Amino acid sequence: MSSRFSCGDSVESQVWASWDGSTFMHNWIQGDINRVTQQGDVYGLYDFQIESENMWNMAQRCGRTNRLQEAAALINSTYSKLQAAPNGGYGRAWVCTGGAGTVCYDSGLANTEVKLVSFQFLGAATFVANALANSGAALSSSDKAFINNTIAITNEHLVRWANDYQIERLQTMMSATTSSPAWNDSFLLFSDIDLWHLTIYAEMAGLRKWQASQGIAVDKSNDTRLQSHMNALLAIFNKRTSLITASTTAKVPGAAMADVDRGFWGNMLANTYASYSGSTKPVVCSPSTYTNVSTSSFTKRNDTGWDFSHARRLVQAMDGLERNRAAMLSSYALTDSQLPPTTLPKAFAAALLNNVWNGDTAQPGFNNYWSGANGWFGAYYSSSISYCDEGMKPYSMADSFPTGGYVTWAKHYPVIGQLGATIYDLMSNSTSAGSSFMTTMYPRLSSASGADNKAISMFMFLPSLVGVGIQ
């Protein structure tokens, strides 16, 4: 049975209509690239991935090779801005060369490589290259050049960052407990950068397999180091992934639920009020600055891990590990037991439903933390370090569900797709789009949002509805 959310139907057409030609969104995404190529602002790499990857994922699901080629052209245009890595590092890097007014310069990162933004972009680049390589379409010489360049560039980044320090850090993490991390110290935490590393290794396995099938020599000159790093990443990811059985009264009764780094993030500054879900601001920063809610007035949870927004990286990670599992086994000589279990993606989807979702199908909301906590994120005040942030109140991260790609997990539980369809219908109706529910829970998709903000959020949301089995 056809659906408006099927490939080739109305919602996919809506996505491409917002993209084709000199539209606001096409110019906006091109602007992300221009920030890198014309202004030297490497944060354009980060924004390109987070704003456009759901569309490229849709293109792959729907077999739109021409769209993958469009993505490749945008990504490829940034490669000319690579330069020798700072401080004598191995290979090439994107370096912040922008001046005042660019995000990287204003963040105090001038003349440095910003690891997170580079790896987030390479996550998108390797996905597009792998999708194009394995599309089954006849590839042009420029397609093949892009794929091979992406492999070489990514390999240089992996080698540079798979250094002894990083491998030893991952090995040290193996013996850490939830009480080990020092206050606001991320050294022992499994972070989104670590997950991007793992995702990229998965995509690179598919790309190496393609090279071998084309008779292209696979560069294995640094495989000993890369193997050590990947083995350490897999070991700590498996160790830090918790599997919990849901109760018989849960929304998905008795399901295996997955969490990552559960309990390890409680000492981070941003999570000071993770366990406080009251309506009163815990911290006030203006006009005067003071603590409004004492941390001794509530019980601190012992399960604080990733917040719901950062956890969106699990969508790309689970997809990459699933699609490239066989390639990882053959390309890196891994054993099946070294890889996460094949049931893990469904277990993360079950946790989304049981822990993060509010259980309401008509007005779906989502908590701020993967653990199910719905406390204030980022709220903290300290006069000694001259820091004040009022943070994000409960449900502030709910829009991570529509914009973060989570709807694609409908393949595991159809209700996830139904929740996405509900939000789409609420957003699309002029009356419900202006309701207090939408303006509170999904302000950027509501009629109260500015036109530009709504266009960007819709652009991130709509592709994840397409081709994932929603009826």
What's the pLDDT tens digit per position in 425-470? Answer: 999 999 999 999 999 999 999 999 999 999 999 999 999 999 999 9
Residue 3's pLDDT band (boundaries 50, 70, 90)?
confident
Q: Where are the beta strands (DSSP E) in 90-205?
A: 92-93
Residue 357, SS3 per DSSP: strand
Report the Cα 17 to chain-centroid distance in Å. 25
Question: In terms of residues, how long is the chain?
Answer: 471
CA–CA distance, 469 with 471 (Å, rounded to integer): 6
CA–CA distance, 209 with 65 (Å, rounded to integer): 19
pLDDT tens digit string along 251-294? Answer: 999 999 999 999 999 999 999 999 999 999 999 999 999 999 99
Residue 410, SS3 per DSSP: helix
Residue 388, SS3 per DSSP: strand
| Element (DSSP H or E) covering residue 380 | strand 380-382
CA–CA distance, 410 with 417 (Å, rounded to integer): 5
CA–CA distance, 431 with 427 (Å, rounded to integer): 9
- The reported pLDDT for the residue numbered 2 is 62
Q: Give the number of other Cβ atoms within 10 Å of residue 20's Cβ.
A: 11
pLDDT exceeds cutoff 90 at 1: no
Please give the average per-residue pLDDT across 204-227, as a whole number.
97
pLDDT exceeds cutoff 90 at 348: yes
| Main-chain dihedrals φ then ψ at residue 93, nearest 5 degrees | -150, 155
pLDDT tens digit string along 115-168? Answer: 999 999 999 999 999 999 999 999 999 999 999 999 999 999 999 999 999 999
Q: Which two tokens stand for residue 140?
A: 């042009």
Of 350, 376, 405, the residue nearest 275 (C-alpha): 376
pLDDT tens digit string along 378-391? Answer: 999 999 999 999 99
Residue 11, SS3 per DSSP: helix
CA–CA distance, 313 with 335 (Å, rounded to integer): 25
pLDDT exceeds cutoff 50 at 28: yes
Residue 396, SS3 per DSSP: coil
